Structure 1
């Protein structure tokens, strides 16, 4: 049984992008469809995006207490531009579980696009990310 199939949006503000020195950062946890989630940002990239791209993932935060043992979700990760409209978007669907608790893009956006004024993503030294999550199902074998 799906706890709450409705979608949810979470906004995350990142300040001082060029001064971030950790490998990754987590957003605060948020609840969508009865489950706890967070966004995970790799400001210098990870895997195929290392050194060239900003990497962004959606992470199921409470995977240990997941009932049923996996859930199917549609989600999008968005970097908004200066005008507040959707700028860069990554959309996916994924079976989230204890063994597969994150999904996203190693090549979300080239790093240079984040800081070049012409692209208008950096607003007063801040970036704005949004996650939208909708639970679509559970395994039919349960």
Structure 2
């Protein structure tokens, strides 16, 4: 299929194979660099993904547009997935729709910061499967505090905080009081980890912007770092090996350690939410579906 073979049309029914509803589209555009990939879905014995560039695929002259692609995989005999072609595995629209038209609510593509993208691979009966992706900014329960007492007596390589429930997930902080790997003896290392990964579906991922902080307990001149990243099955915790130098920590004028207690904080600034979604339930009066 060449781009010249593409026919653009406006429809009144949801796409038959897969729908991807996105809430908080403005946050997605602001927080996530490059692209967002849907979960894998099956259509006509093949595995696929939708790949959305909310700010345009700049590598293909998509700047200023919504870019949307269909990424194809081939299922082979032993059940493994393999890209159908190493040369051309994605088809789609680098310039699907200009952002100026898309962002204009009167056009009906983006309503209440929500939109829907979809795909039909072949003409088949409606499978009705899909996903509902949204992003939450500053969740109300997204801050937690850990008082690390008797800091001078800590001798183990690392310590875990209690488990905190925030943003519908369980989290824990991981502290290396004397540093991790090459920073041992030089820096304190600090990480945020997910503690409830077993409840996620296969191939899960979770976008999080979070702040790690060590409190100045007198003047509020805290030391903090903010990180944006995707958590997944192979990366269940993120942080900084060189979070703060041990010299700074032990400098009494910084007030990080008071009465031999260090106060560590974690704050969730923004995180993604992914739910199963009945794509067949979409109707024209609620959303305009863009069909790839």
TM-score where L is the length of structure 2: 0.45
1:23 Cα deviation after fit: 0.6
Q: Which runs of 5+ in 1 are unaligned?
A: none
The 5 A counterparts of 1:125-140 are 125-137=260-272
1:77 aligned partner: 212
Cα pair distance change 1:26/1:3, threshold 3 Å:
farther
Are the counterparts in 1 of residues 178 and 187 from structure 2 also a CA contact under 8 Å?
A: yes
- Give distance in 2, aligned partners of 1:83 and 1:92: 26
1:49 Cα deviation after fit: 1.8
The 5 A counterparts of 1:1-142 are 1=132, 5=136, 6-7=139-140, 8-67=142-201, 69-83=204-218, 85-137=220-272
Are the counterparts in 1 of residues 172 and 193 from structure 2 also a CA contact under 8 Å?
A: yes
TM-score where L is the length of structure 1: 0.88
CA displacement 1:65-97 (0-9 Å, x = unmatched): 125811101100000102262511010011111
- Give distance in 2, aligned partners of 1:60 and 1:105: 16
Larger Rg, first or second structure (1 or 2)? 2
Q: Which runs of 5+ in 2 are unaligned?
A: 1-131, 278-292
Are the counterparts in 1 of residues 211 and 269 from structure 2 also a CA contact under 8 Å?
A: no
Cα pair distance change 1:84/1:69, threshold 3 Å:
farther
CA displacement 1:22-60 (0-9 Å, x = unmatched): 110000000111010000000110123211011000001
- Give distance in 1, aligned partners of 2:174 and 2:165: 15
Are the counterparts in 1 of residues 135 and 273 from structure 2 also a CA contact under 8 Å?
A: no
- Give distance in 2, aligned partners of 1:94 and 1:32: 17
CA displacement 1:79-123 (0-9 Å, x = unmatched): 010226251101001111121111101011111221221211111
Structure holding more strand per residue: 1
- Give distance in 1, aligned partners of 2:135 and 2:218: 32
Q: Which has the higher contact order (CA 8 A, sep 6+)?
A: 1
- Give distance in 2, aligned partners of 1:2 and 1:27: 30
Runs of 4+ aligned structure 1 residues displaced above 6 Å come to: none
